[in-house]
Amino acid sequence: MMKQNLLKVKGLISTMLILSGFFSFSTGAVLFFSKYGMWFIFTRKLINDVHAFSALIMGLCIPIHLYLNRKLYKMEMDQLLGTKKNNE
């Protein structure tokens, strides 16, 4: 039961990272390429607020994501740095 809950939390955090990354990237591109005025029906202030909020959500989710996947990262770093012997 605990493992299923952990998988749900990991899935939720990963989904939040994907969505906030998409919103942050797309609003950042709009802000970069349109220097003034509106974009479709959205004001520049609204786009800027969505950009800041999505970046905040992403910034909060990244440490949680790293903590939840710490065993995987440790295995990957051991493999990358060669600190653990392979059984070959």
- For the chain, the structural domain boundaries read 17-81
pLDDT truncated to tens, each residue of the chain (88 aa)? 678 888 898 889 999 999 999 999 999 998 888 877 777 888 888 999 999 999 999 999 999 999 998 998 898 889 989 886 655 5
Q: In whole angstroms, what is the distance from residue 8 CA to residue 2 CA?
A: 10
**pLDDT score, position 22:** 95
CA 29 to chain centre: 17
| Angle of CA points 32, 60, 35, to nearest 5° | 10
